[in-house]
A and B are shown apart, each in its own frame.
Chain A
Amino acid sequence: GESVGLHLPTLSVQEGDNSIINCAYSNSASDYFIWYKQESGKGPQFIIDIRSNMDKRQGQRVTVLLNKTVKHLSLQIAATQPGDSAVYFCAETRGQNALNFGKGTSLLVTP
């Protein structure tokens, strides 16, 4: 079936550096994309979302880029902090349907 996947399962960055987490999706009908952060033992926490009529959206220290041509989504975290260490999931859907998640990227921030 259609899938959402991540290019790298783990990412290690130094504190203060910028982080980029990538995600590929295959369902060209998807019109809504979202990034979640999940800490150990907790539920996914909303970070930022983007709709298919946009290419870029910025939040506080985070930016999501959407390239519909190559079906690619990325999450950029500026000035990564130790508190950013977590697993990051991208997910996609269309309408009010269920989210389709990828496996996740584990981000480790080292001092």
Chain B
Amino acid sequence: DTGVSQDPRHKITKRGQNVTFRCDPISEHNRLYWYRQTLGQGPEFLTYFQNEAQLEKSRLLSDRFSAERPKGSFSTLEIQRTEQGDSAMYLCASSGTSGMSTDTQYFGPGTRLTVL
């Protein structure tokens, strides 16, 4: 499979616990995005990497959230001290270097987080 992959697909945790999600982008893509999606809504932007550099963070990304992309390949998103309001689908997308002004973002299957 040469698409974007995410692990785990589902995570159930208790309030106050820490969780970490992983995203593996399409191999030749240098841009990686994290989004969050709640039921009935469109995805909302969280943060964006170009190679290993984190270029933008949304105001949705509170200080309990941290994302890394240490070698410019896979990325991790950690949520500390989870709250019930963190329950959502966490989506990762990647885009490449076509030379166009904008590259298509391709999404992974998402990680469904449920905080009890």
Q: A residues touching B (Cβ–Cβ < 8 Å)?
A: 4, 31-32, 34, 36, 41-46, 49, 51, 89, 91, 93-104
B4 shortest CB reach to chain A, Å: 8
Q: For the side of the interface on B, what is the size category?
A: 20 to 34
User: CA A4 – CA B44 in complex, angstroms?
Assistant: 12
User: CA A79 – CA B42 in complex, angstroms?
Assistant: 26
B82 at the interface (CB under 8 A from A): no
A-B contact number at CB 8 A:
67
Q: B residues touching A (Cβ–Cβ < 8 Å)?
A: 4, 6, 31, 33, 35, 40-45, 48, 50, 56, 58, 91, 93, 95, 101-110, 112
Which one, A31, A44, A51, A94, contacts B43 given CB within 8 A?
A44
Q: Are B33 and A103 in contact (CB under 8 A)?
A: no
